[in-house]
Amino acid sequence: MSEQIRSLERRLECRLFDRLGRSIKPTRHAEILFPKAMAILEDIRRLEQELLVEADNVSGELILGASTIPGAYILPRIATNFKADHSQISFEIRIADSGEVIDSVLNHDLLIGIVGTRISSTSLNFFPFVEDELVLAASARRELPSSVSLQQLAELPFLLREQGSGTRKTLEEYGLKNGFGLDQLNVVAVLGSNAAVKEAIKEDLGVSILSSISIRDELRCGRLQKIRIQGMTLKRSFYITTLKKRTLPNLYTVFLETLCSQRSSRTA
C-alpha cells in the first residue's frame, strides 16, 4: 500500500501524507482528493452494475428486415411466441426485397435480416433458416387433375409476379436450366405482390406458382388447391444474415438464438 501511495504521489506531483514517525497525516491535497476519488469509485461501481444489467436485458425494440415471405408469414408467428416470453419487447419488421435487406445490414441500418438470397461476402454471416417449396396454386373452384405436365401448364391462364420478385427469379432460373421459358406461359396478368396473386387465384382469374408457406392457411380452409407439376420441383432457402464484426445487443443475441434454434424444425 505504501508503494501505491508513493506511486500516486509521483503521478500527481504532490504529497498526500506526511510521515510523522510511526503515524501519518493526510495533507490538504489528500483531503481534496479523497471525496472525489470516492465519487469516481462509486461511478465505476454503478457503471459495472449497469453493464451487468444490460448483459441480461431482454427488453426494448427489435428492428428486423425481411423479404416478403419470411416477413409476412414466418416472423410474425415467431415474434408472437418470443413476446410471450419477453413481454418488454416490441417489434418492427421492415419488408423489402432481399437485396435491399442485405444492403441495410451491410450499412448498419439493420442488425438482423431474413432473406431469400445468399451472396458471397467476407463481411456477412448467412445461417440457413427455412426451406420453402414453390407450388402451383389454383382456386378450389377450378377443376384440375392432381398433377399437370408442363404442356398442360402452358395452356392454363397464368398469373405472373412482377420483374425482380424472388418467386419469378426462381421460375426463370428453372426455365433456363430446363428449356422452359416464361414466354411459353399463357400470362393473363402480372401482379406486384404475393397477396395480389393469392386474391386473384381465389377469384379464379388464373393459376400461379406461389410459396407453399404463403398459402398454408388457404389450403387448410379449402380456398385453394395445390397441383403437382410433373417433373418440376422448385425449392429455395431463406437465410438469417448478420454482420460478422458487429456485436449484437443482448436483446438481439437472444432473439437470434431463438431463430437459430428453430432452423431445423421450421420447414415448408
pTM for the full predicted model? 0.71
Higher-pLDDT residue of 128, 50: 128
The answer to whether residue 151 scores a pLDDT higher than 70 is yes
- Name residue 54's amino acid: E
What is the average pLDDT across 194-208?
Answer: 95
Q: Which of 76-85, 228-237, 258-267 has the lowest average pLDDT?
A: 258-267
Secondary structure of residue 40 in the 3-state scheme? helix
Instruction: Show which of 17, 33, 55 is a domain's final residue.
Output: 55
Q: Are residues 137 and 231 in the same domain?
A: yes
Q: Are residues 208 and 247 in the same domain?
A: no
Residue 267 forms part of a structural domain = no
Q: In whole angstroms, how far apart are CA 232 and each of 115, 190, 209?
A: 24, 22, 11
Give the count of domains, the chain. 3
Q: Are residues 198 and 157 in the same domain?
A: yes
Q: Are residues 74 and 127 in the same domain?
A: yes
Give the pLDDT confidence of 46-75 residue by residue, as tens digits: 777 666 656 566 788 899 999 989 999 999
Q: Are residues 244 and 212 in the same domain?
A: no
Q: Are 8 and 16 in contact (CB under 8 A)?
A: yes
Residue 75 forms part of a structural domain = yes
C-alpha grid cell for residue 28?
490538504
Residue 266 forms part of a structural domain = no
Quickly state the pLDDT bin for 156 (edges 50, 70, 90). very high
Q: What is the extent of the structural domain holding 81? A: 60-131+237-261
Residues ≥6 apart with Cβ < 8 Å to 237: 116, 118, 128, 129, 130, 131, 132
Q: Are residues 229 and 172 in the same domain?
A: yes
Give the pLDDT confidence of 72-125 residue by residue, as tens digits: 999 999 999 999 988 888 999 999 988 899 999 999 999 999 998 888 999 999
